[in-house]
C-alpha cells in the first residue's frame, strides 16, 4: 500500500466531453500515457473503455475516474483525476453525474466536423455544473481539418475565445503538453477541508460479487480510511469501510482518500439498490447538515418486452437481468406475460442505444436467445373516473370507452446539419408529427433546426432516416419536455383471427389506416408460409382496417426424402430446428423475431 498525502492545491479534477467520435477516449489515453500512470505494457489503446461492447462499438458508456501524476513545467507535481463520460445522447444522465464531481472539462471538437449537437449539449451540462472549460480542436492531422474555422465556430456558438482554443492531434500526440500545462493553470484546485467532518459525493457505483458494491466518490471534506464508519445522507444504514483506493486506471489501494481525492471505497454493501448515486457520504458520528446537490433522477424513456425464445430460459433471463441491473441502475424490468410470447419481462431503458446494448449483452454474455418486442414510450391515460394511468405497454391500454384521452411524451429536438439538407430534414420532421420551433445558422454552411416532437416518433426509425436523408451529416440532441395530449388509437394485429398482444401498438389516428396497411404487408413478407392459409389483419376497435393472406405452403419439406435414408431426414429436421430459433409459435403459426420489430420498418 502506498501513501503520499498531496496538498489539494496540486490536485485537478476534470472530465473530457465531446460529441461522439471526436476523440475523447483517444485523448484520455494520450494523457494517461504522457503522465506517470501506466507502464507501456499495461497501456493498451482506450484503456478506459473496458466493456467488450464499448470497445467494439467504439462508445464509452460507464464513467471511470483515473488518477494521473503530472510533473509540470513549474517544477510541481500535480495529481490529475480524469473522469470519463459517455458521448451518446442516450447517456446524458451519466454525463451529468460524472460532471457533478468535476471542477473543469476539456471540450474536444473535431477539426473537420466542427461543433455538433452533443458538443453543445455537453457544454451546457458543464456550464450547469459551473465547470471551467478548456476548449481543444482535435484531429488537426486530418487533411480535411480546418482548425482556425472550427475555433471561430467555437467562439461564435459557445462564446469561448477562439484564441484560447488549443489545436491538437490526440492520435499523433501533437500538442498534448500544452493541454497538460493548461489544465493546472485553468482548472481550479478542489476546495477541500481535511479537518472538517467527512463529506463525499457518490458519482457512480458498480457491483462485484466478492466485495459487494464499489462506490466511486469524490471526497470534499475530511477523509475515508479502512475502518471509517460511513452512512449516506439519505439512508440510515451505517457501514464500515473495508478498503479505499484510486484508479490508475487499475485499482490501487491507498491508506486514505483525503479531501480533494477521487477514488473508490468498499464497505460490504450488498446491493446497488442501497447506494443512491448522487447522495453524499458522511460520518454517522459527525454528520453534516447539508448534502451535496443531488442529480436528476433517472428517467427510462423506452420500454420493450424481452422474452426467451426457448421458454425454459425464463429463469436464466431473470438471473441475467438481475446481474446486469447490479451494475446499471438505469435499467428496470418486471415480469410480464404475453399470450403470444409467454413469460418474459417488460424492460425500461434510457434510450434506444441503451436498449440495444443491453440486449446484445444479454445474448452475448449470458448466451440467451431473445425475442424483443417493438419499443414503446410511456403513455398517460386519463380515465373517465378522473384517474391518470401510466402504461408502458400498448396492449395494457384500457378499452376506448373507459378513458377520456391519451397523453404522450414530447422531446425538444436540436438537429445540426449542413444547410443543403434543410428541405429533406424538414420533410422528415413533418412526417414525424414534429412542430417547428426555429432555425439558427451555426456558420455560413450549417444550421441548427429546433423542433418539438413526440418521443414515440423518434424511437421508431428517426435516427436512421435522419442519417440517410443527410448522407450521415446530421446529428441531434434531445431533451424530454413533458406530456401532451394526442389523437391516438390502439391498433391490434390479428393472426388467423386472433389479436396478438405483442403486436399491439398505439398510433396517431390520422395515419393509423396507412400504418396498418404497411404493417400487414411487412408481416406478410416476414412470416414464412405455413401448411395452411394465414390471414393477417390490422384492427382498430372492432373494425379491420387492413388485411392480407399468406398463402399455404405447397410442399412438405420431408416429402422429398420420403422413403429415403433416415440420417438425411434427421439432418433436415435438425436444420429446420436451427432455423426455428427465434421463432415463436402463435397459435399454429410460426412467427420470426423480425416480425415483432416490423413496425420499425414501416414507412410513412
Ligand atoms: P466515444 O467514446 O464513442 O464517445 O468516442 P470518442 O469521442 O471517445 O472518440 P475516440 O477517441 O474513440 O475516437 C474516434 C475516432 O477518431 C477513432 O477512430 C480515433 O482513432 C480517431 N481519432 C482520435 N483522435 C484523432 C486524431 O487526432 N487524428 C485522427 N486522424 N484521428 C483521430
Provide the pLDDT for residue 2: 47
pLDDT tens digit string along 375-404? 899 999 999 999 999 999 998 999 888 999
Q: Which residue has the higher pLDDT, 228 or 572?
A: 228
Mean pLDDT across the stretch 142-168?
Answer: 90
- DSSP-assigned letters across all residues of 223-253: EEETT-EEEETT---EEE--EEEEESSSEEE
Mean pLDDT across the stretch 419-423?
Answer: 94
Provide the pLDDT for residue 59: 44
Local structure of 278: helix, strand or coil: coil
Radius of gyration of the chain (CA): 27
In whole angstroms, give the CA distance from residue 314 to residue 317.
Answer: 5
Residue 290 pLDDT > 90: no
**Grid cell digits, residue 53:** 461492447
Task: Indicate which atom in ligand 1 lies nearest the CA of residue 26.
Answer: 11
For the chain, give the number of residues: 604
Residue 468 pLDDT > 90: no
Q: How confident is the model at residue 90 (pLDDT cuts 50, 70, 90)?
A: low
Residue 142 pLDDT > 90: yes
DSSP 398: P
Residue 594 pLDDT > 80: no
Ligand 1: distance of its center to the CA of 111 in Å?
A: 12
Whose C-alpha lies nearest to ligand 1, atom 16?
23
CB of 142 closer than 6 angstroms to any ligand 1 atom? yes
Whose C-alpha lies nearest to ligand 1, atom 28?
139
Ligand 1: distance of its center to the CA of 108 in Å?
A: 10
CB of 31 closer than 6 angstroms to any ligand 1 atom? no
CB of 561 closer than 6 angstroms to any ligand 1 atom? no
pLDDT tens digit string along 17-73? 988 889 988 998 889 888 865 444 444 554 555 555 554 554 444 447 889 999 999
Residue 281 pLDDT > 90: yes
Burial class (CB in 10 A: 0-12, 13-18, 19+), 415: buried
Ligand 1: distance of its center to the CA of 121 in Å?
A: 19
**Grid cell digits, residue 299:** 428517467
Q: How many helices (H) and strands (E) does the chain have?
A: 13, 33
Handedness of CA 29, 31, 32, 33 (dihedral sign): positive
**Grid cell digits, residue 490:** 390502439
pLDDT tens digit string along 117-131? 888 878 888 887 889
Q: How confident is the model at residue 554 (pLDDT cuts 50, 70, 90)?
A: low
Q: How confident is the model at residue 458 (pLDDT cuts 50, 70, 90)?
A: confident
Ligand 1: distance of its center to the CA of 54 in Å?
A: 13
Q: How confident is the model at residue 572 (pLDDT cuts 50, 70, 90)?
A: low
Ligand 1: distance of its center to the CA of 296 in Å?
A: 29
Q: Which of 21, 27, 110, 144 to mutate to test the pocket of ligand 1 (most atoms within 8 A of CB)?
A: 21
pLDDT tens digit string along 205-215? 888 888 888 99
Residue 559 pLDDT > 70: no
Residue 1 pLDDT > 50: no
Average confidence score pLDDT of the chain: 84
Task: Indicate which atom in ligand 1 lies nearest the CA of residue 60.
Answer: 2
Provide the pLDDT for residue 479: 82
Q: How confident is the model at residue 406 (pLDDT cuts 50, 70, 90)?
A: very high
Nearest of 46, 41, 74 to residue 60 by alpha carbon: 46
Q: How confident is the model at residue 297 (pLDDT cuts 50, 70, 90)?
A: low
β-pairing verdict for 388-391 and 370-372: unpaired
Whose C-alpha lies nearest to ligand 1, atom 23?
23
Least confident range from 44-53, 135-144, 361-370, 439-448: namely: 44-53
Least confident range from 74-83, 263-272, 470-479, 574-583: namely: 574-583
Least confident range from 15-24, 406-415, 495-504, 587-596: namely: 587-596
CB of 139 closer than 6 angstroms to any ligand 1 atom? yes
Provide the pLDDT for residue 58: 45
β-pairing verdict for 262-266 and 243-247: antiparallel
Whose C-alpha lies nearest to ligand 1, atom 1?
59
Ligand 1: distance of its center to the CA of 563 in Å?
A: 62
Whose C-alpha lies nearest to ligand 1, atom 13?
23
CB of 21 closer than 6 angstroms to any ligand 1 atom? yes
Cβ atoms 241, 211 nearer than 8 A: no
Cβ atoms 218, 246 nearer than 8 A: no
Ligand 1: distance of its center to the CA of 45 in Å?
A: 11
Mean pLDDT across the stretch 454-478?
Answer: 84
Ligand 1: distance of its center to the CA of 152 in Å?
A: 22
Q: Which of 23, 55, 58 to mutate to test the pocket of ligand 1 (most atoms within 8 A of CB)?
A: 23
In whole angstroms, give the CA distance from residue 215 to residue 138.
Answer: 33
Provide the pLDDT for residue 123: 85
Amino acid at each position: 500500500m502506498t501513501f503520499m498525502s498531496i496538498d489539494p492545491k496540486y490536485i485537478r479534477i476534470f472530465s473530457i466531453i465531446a460529441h461522439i467520435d471526436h476523440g475523447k477516449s483517444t485523448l484520455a489515453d494520450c494523457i494517461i500515457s504522457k503522465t506517470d500512470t501506466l507502464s507501456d505494457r499495461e497501456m493498451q489503446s482506450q484503456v478506459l473503455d473496458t466493456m467488450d461492447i464499448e470497445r467494439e462499438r467504439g462508445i464509452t458508456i460507464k464513467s471511470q475516474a483515473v488518477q494521473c501524476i503530472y510533473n509540470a513545467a513549474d517544477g510541481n507535481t500535480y495529481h490529475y483525476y480524469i473522469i470519463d463520460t459517455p458521448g451518446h445522447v442516450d447517456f446524458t444522465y451519466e454525463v451529468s453525474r460524472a460532471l457533478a464531481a468535476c471542477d473543469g472539462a476539456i471540450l474536444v471538437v473535431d477539426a473537420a466536423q466542427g461543433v455538433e449537437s452533443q458538443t453543445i449539449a455537453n457544454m451546457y451540462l458543464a456550464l450547469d455544473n459551473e465547470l471551467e472549460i478548456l476548449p481543444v480542436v482535435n484531429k488537426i492531422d486530418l487533411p480535411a481539418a480546418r482548425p482556425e474555422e472550427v475555433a471561430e465556430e467555437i467562439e461564435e456558438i459557445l462564446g469561448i475565445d477562439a484564441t484560447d482554443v488549443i489545436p491538437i492531434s490526440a492520435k499523433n500526440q501533437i500538442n498534448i503538453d500544452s493541454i497538460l500545462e493548461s489544465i493546472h493553470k485553468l482548472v481550479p484546485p478542489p476546495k477541500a477541508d481535511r479537518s472538517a467532518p467527512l463529506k463525499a459525493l457518490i458519482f457512480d457505483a458498480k457491483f462485484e460479487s466478492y466485495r459487494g458494491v464499489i462506490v466511486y466518490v469524490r471526497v470534499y471534506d475530511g477523509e475515508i480510511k479502512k475502518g471509517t464508519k460511513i452512512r449516506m445522507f439519505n439512508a440510515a444504514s451505517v457501514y464500515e469501510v473495508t478498503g479505499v483506493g484510486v484508479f490508475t486506471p487499475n485499482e490501487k489501494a491507498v491508506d486514505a482518500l483525503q479531501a480533494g481525492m477521487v477514488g473508490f471505497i468498499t464497505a460490504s454493501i450488498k446491493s446497488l439498490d442501497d447506494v443512491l448515486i448522487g447522495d453524499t457520504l458522511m460520518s454517522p458520528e459527525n454528520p453534516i447538515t447539508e448534502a451535496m446537490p443531488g442529480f436528476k433522477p433517472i428517467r427510462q424513456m423506452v420500454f420493450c418486452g424481452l422474452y426467451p425464445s426457448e421458454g425454459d430460459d425464463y429463469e436464466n433471463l431473470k438471473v441475467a437481468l438481475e446481474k446486469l441491473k447490479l451494475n446499471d441502475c438505469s435499467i428496470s424490468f418486471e415480469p410480464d406475460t404475453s399470450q403470444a410470447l409467454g413469460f418474459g419481462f417488460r424492460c425500461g431503458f434510457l434510450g434506444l442505444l441503451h436498449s440495444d446494448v443491453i440486449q446484445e449483452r444479454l445474448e452475448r454474455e449470458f448466451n440467451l436467445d431473445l425475442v424483443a418486442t417493438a419499443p414503446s414510450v410511456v403513455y398517460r391515460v386519463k380515465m373517465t373516473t378522473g384517474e391518470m394511468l401510466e402504461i408502458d405497454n400498448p396492449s395494457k391500454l384500457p378499452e376506448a370507452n373507459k378513458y377520456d384521452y391519451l397523453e404522450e411524451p414530447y422531446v425538444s429536438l436540436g438537429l445540426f446539419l449542413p444547410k443543403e439538407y434543410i428541405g429533406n430534414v424538414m420533410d422528415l420532421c413533418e412526417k414525424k408529427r414534429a412542430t417547428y420551433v426555429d432555425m439558427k445558422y451555426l456558420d455560413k454552411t450549417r444550421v441548427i433546426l429546433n423542433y418539438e416532437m413526440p418521443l414515440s416518433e423518434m424511437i421508431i426509425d428517426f435516427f436512421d432516416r435522419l442519417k440517410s436523408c443527410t448522407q450521415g451529416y446530421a446529428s441531434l440532441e434531445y431533451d424530454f419536455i413533458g406530456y401532451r395530449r394526442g389523437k391516438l388509437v390502439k391498433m391490434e394485429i390479428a393472426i388467423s383471427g386472433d389479436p396478438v398482444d405483442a403486436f399491439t401498438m398505439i398510433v396517431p389516428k390520422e395515419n393509423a389506416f396507412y400504418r396498418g396497411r404497411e404493417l400487414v404487408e411487412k408481416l406478410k413478407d416476414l412470416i414464412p408460409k405455413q401448411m395452411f392459409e394465414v390471414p393477417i389483419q390490422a384492427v382498430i376497435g372492432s373494425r379491420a382496417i387492413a388485411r392480407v393472406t399468406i398463402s399455404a405452403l405447397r410442399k412438405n419439406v420431408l416429402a422429398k426424402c420420403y422413403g429415403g435414408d433416415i440420417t438425411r431426414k434427421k439432418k433436415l429436421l435438425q436444420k429446420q430446428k436451427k432455423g426455428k430459433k427465434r421463432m415463436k409459435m402463435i397459435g399454429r403459426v410460426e412467427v420470426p423475431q423480425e416480425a415483432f420489430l416490423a413496425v420499425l420498418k414501416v414507412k410513412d
